Structure formats: C-alpha cells, structure tokens
Amino acid sequence: MLITELKSKEILDSLTQGKVFIINCHGCKEVSFPEKEAEEFEKALGDKVTGILTTDYVCNIDNLPLRLEKHAAAIEAADTVLVLSCGVGVQTVAEHLPGKRVCAACDTYALPGHQGVTPLEHECDQCGQCYLNITGGTCPITACSKSLVNGQCGGAKNGMCEVDPTMECGWERIMRKLKQVDRLDVLKCPIQLRQYNK
C-alpha cells in the first residue's frame, strides 16, 4: 500500500509557470490518490492547461505510448508535463517523453500492506520526498547504490557504479537526461535534505 500526496502549493506554483499538460493516474487500488485536491488544483490552472490525460496504470509500457500519442499536440504545446502518480508512473512518462520537461506533482509515501503486483520497469522506494523534478525523471534513491540526492559520489568508473559495477551509475543517467532537456541549471539549487521523519 502506498499514498500519493500533492506537493506543497509553493512547489506546484513553481512547476506551473508556463503551459502545462497534466497526467492523472487512477490505476492501482493499492495507491491512495488525492483525487479531490487534484481536481481543484487543475481547475485553478485554467487556460494554462493544454490538455489532461486521466487514465489507469501510466506505468504500463504497453499502453502508455498510444495514450501519449493521442495527446501529442497538447503535449507538444506544453512547457511541462505534470504527472500526478506515484514515482514509478512519473519515471515511466519521463522515459517516454525524452525531450520534454516531465515533473512530479506528488510525493509518494509507503504504507504497510500489499504493494501491488504490477510488473514495473522503474523503481520507487516511496521515500516521501520525490526528487524527480530535479533529476530529470530518474529516481536517485533507487538508481544510485548509495541513494545520493546531491550528486555523484565520484567513484564511478567508465560510467559504471563503484558499488555495483554491473550497473550504470545512476547519476551519470541523471546528468545525461538533464543535459538532454537543457536543465543542468536545476543542480545549482540548494543542497537537498531528506525528510526521514515523514
């Protein structure tokens, strides 16, 4: 079981400066989705919204490309694709829209109990403070062996992780994606602190 909760108004305001395309995931019954708050938030955005896709299981890579394709023009017209889902959904959308700024509108928290059975391409550790907005859509908690949130440890060799040489360094992936969307500037933000008490 996990819970998704809308990020603070301050963060949402900063993510919605330009035009926005919104993706709502209503998939997993194991996920608590802030449906009412999301509806109010989206309504308040008014004509900033180029389109809305409300669907189930955005993490389903068999269906997602077709769903995105149907909204291609509205996605193209948006500066940001804002995804309201757990961290897995946001990562999946980011992978399928490589040149686009894809942001997480929610934080994902863990709750005890059944975690669902969906086969997933990406991992979310339900850390409660989603970093995907500053890492270009790659989760630093699961893609980095040390779950570093402030950049590379310096131990990577030929792009591979020093802890697990069979995997690519997660921060190499993050830097590559940020470069691709011309957003390396986001790494100039203040040091990220993890909220262990949440």
Site string for ligand SF4, 84-113 (x = CB under 6 A): ---x--------------------x-----
Alpha helices per DSSP H over 19-144: 35-45, 64-70, 72-76, 87-96, 140-143
Q: 115 and 30 in contact (C-beta within 8 Å)?
A: yes
Alpha helices per DSSP H over 115-169: 140-143
Q: Give the CB-side neighbour count of residue 130, counting CA atoms within 13 A.
A: 34
Residue 77 in the binding site for ligand SF4 (CB under 6 A): no
**Sole window of 23-31, 36-44, 60-68, 131-139 interacting with ligand SF4 (rule: CB under 6 A):** 131-139
Helix (H) or strand (E) holding 180: helix 170-180
Residue 132 in the binding site for ligand SF4 (CB under 6 A): yes
Residue 126 in the binding site for ligand SF4 (CB under 6 A): yes
* Closest to 135 in 3D by CA, of 106, 100, 103: 103
Number of residues written out for the chain: 198
In the complex with ligand SF4, which residue's Cβ is closer, 1 or 156? 156
Residues 2 to 41 in contact with ligand SF4, rule: CB under 6 A: none
Site string for ligand SF4, 152-181 (x = CB under 6 A): xx-xx----xxx-----xxx----------
Query: Which residues contact ligand SF4 by CB under 6 A?
Result: 87, 108, 124-127, 130-132, 139, 141-142, 144-146, 148, 152-153, 155-156, 161-163, 169-171
